[in-house]
């Protein structure tokens, strides 16, 4: 079974379409999204529609919950707040309702992995270090969760590992999964990469090979930027897309 794992689409239609096309080329049997379908960019309705139409399993990200009105973006920076309020005015009621019903996590029982947005117990918290990974590894052990957890939120591709008492991080590609090892793996972002590479990022998990492979794909960046400008969203949102940051 080959799973395509996507995260942080953030209303970037051109990026989502490019990633789905590449995932199909790579032979993905199933597609899962780690949250933040909306926010920042200019096509929230179209991105939610694609998720729904393709039957993609998705969980709730922190931007999804704010757009759905389940929480207020009081802890967001001013630019992110403006994008949330714009999206609330733009998104269809049916799509807002869809976002409000998304679960906070998903466990793929037969394949033995779990999907979360940020921390296992907090979609708003970031895993940016081995110390933060260690906390989540403890949760995996205490709660007897699957040994492989996919997370998003940071927009940066990385894998953290724990074998016995040793915790580390790796950018190995492909990543060969070993027995008796715990993994926290981030596919990077579809719609707003933050690792210096403006191309969309996602991964394929091949259960038959016990292997994770990371992929980058270019998309029509200029078209996406023009839409952001036309919508009147803050300039830093399109400027950072050019920089991959």
Mean pLDDT of 117-125: 98
DSSP code for 189: -
What is the spatial distance between Cα 151 and Cα 115, in angstroms, rounded to a whole number?
6
Mean pLDDT of 144-156: 98
Kindly indicate the confidence band of residue 53, based on its pLDDT and cuts at 50, 70 and 90: very high
At residue 240, the pLDDT reads 97
Alpha-carbon distances of 23 from 111, 129, 138, 198, rounded to whole Å: 18, 29, 32, 18
Mean pLDDT of 19-48: 98
At residue 131, the pLDDT reads 97
Mean pLDDT of 66-71: 98
Mean pLDDT of 17-33: 98
At residue 205, the pLDDT reads 98
Q: Which tokens in the block code for residue 113?
A: 């992995």
pTM summary value: 0.97
Identify whether the C-beta of residue 105 lies closer than 8 Å to the C-beta of residue 57. Answer: no
Kindly indicate the confidence band of residue 125, based on its pLDDT and cuts at 50, 70 and 90: very high
Kindly indicate the confidence band of residue 200, based on its pLDDT and cuts at 50, 70 and 90: very high
- Give per-residue pLDDT as tens, 210-242: 999 999 999 999 999 999 999 999 999 999 999
At residue 208, the pLDDT reads 98
Domains of the chain (ranges; CATH) run 2-243 (3.60.21.10)
What is the spatial distance between Cα 109 and Cα 95, in angstroms, rounded to a whole number?
28
What is the spatial distance between Cα 137 and Cα 74, in angstroms, rounded to a whole number?
29
At residue 210, the pLDDT reads 98
Kindly indicate the confidence band of residue 141, based on its pLDDT and cuts at 50, 70 and 90: very high
Q: Say how far residue 111 (Cα) sits from the centre of its chain.
A: 19
Averaged confidence pLDDT in the chain: 98
């Amino acid at each position: 079974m080959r799973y395509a794992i996507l995260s942080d689409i953030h209303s970037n239609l051109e990026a989502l379409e490019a990633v789905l096309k590449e995932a199909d080329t790579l032979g993905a049997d199933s597609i899962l999204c780690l949250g933040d379908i909306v926010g920042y960019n200019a096509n929230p309705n179209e991105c939610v529609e694609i998720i729904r139409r393709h039957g993609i399993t998705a969980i709730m990200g922190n931007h999804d919950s704010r757009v759905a009105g389940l929480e207020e973006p009081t802890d967001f920076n001013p630019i992110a707040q403006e994008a949330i309020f714009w999206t609330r005015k733009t998104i269809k009621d049916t799509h807002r309702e869809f976002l409000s019903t998304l679960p906070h996590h998903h466990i793929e029982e037969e394949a033995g992995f779990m999907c979360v947005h940020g921390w296992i117990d907090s979609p708003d918290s970031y895993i940016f270090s081995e110390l933060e990974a260690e906390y989540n590894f403890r949760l995996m052990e205490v709660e007897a969760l699957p040994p492989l957890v996919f997370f998003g939120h940071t927009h940066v591709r990385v894998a953290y590992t724990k074998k016995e008492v040793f915790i580390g991080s790796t950018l190995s590609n492909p990543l060969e999964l070993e027995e008796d090892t715990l993994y926290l793996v981030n596919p990077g972002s579809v719609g707003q990469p933050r690792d210096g590479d403006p191309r969309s990022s996602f991964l394929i998990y091949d259960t038959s090979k016990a292997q994770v492979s990371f992929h980058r794909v270019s998309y029509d960046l200029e078209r996406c930027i023009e839409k952001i400008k036309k919508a009147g969203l803050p300039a830093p949102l399109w400027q950072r897309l050019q920089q991959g940051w």
